Amino acid sequence: MSINLSRYALAVSAAAILVSLTTACGGGAQPVCQDAVKAFNDYSTQAAAGAGNLEAFNKANADLAAKLKDLSDKADGDLKATLADLSATWGGIKVDPSNPAAAATELSKLGTQATDATQKLAKNCS
């Protein structure tokens, strides 16, 4: 089961890296967008490092949610709403290490949510 959890964690990290690169290449002239790229890059590193450790993965999610909430407070319009949605998405992910089956389901759901939400971020920052 830990191999599957690692794969999901890395998939989420890959999605975060992808949006970071997309945002950076798309311009992202707004300082908030640049900070969001940095937050996702930091998250990708932290989540990948904790891929076999769900407690570390939970911490990475909570840290990213807090950073995105702070960035949302600095933004306006669609970017503010997107950052708030991203914060809520990552803030709502808490994987129970004692229930690996539920963890796999939750991580799979996060992958889908991450892809959708980060595409919105890339659009708002381009």
pLDDT tens digit string along 54-88?
Answer: 788 888 889 999 999 999 999 988 889 989 988 98
User: What is the span of the domain harbouring residue 32?
Assistant: 2-125
Single-letter amino acid, residue 111:
G
Q: Specify the number of domains making up the chain.
A: 1
pTM of the model: 0.76
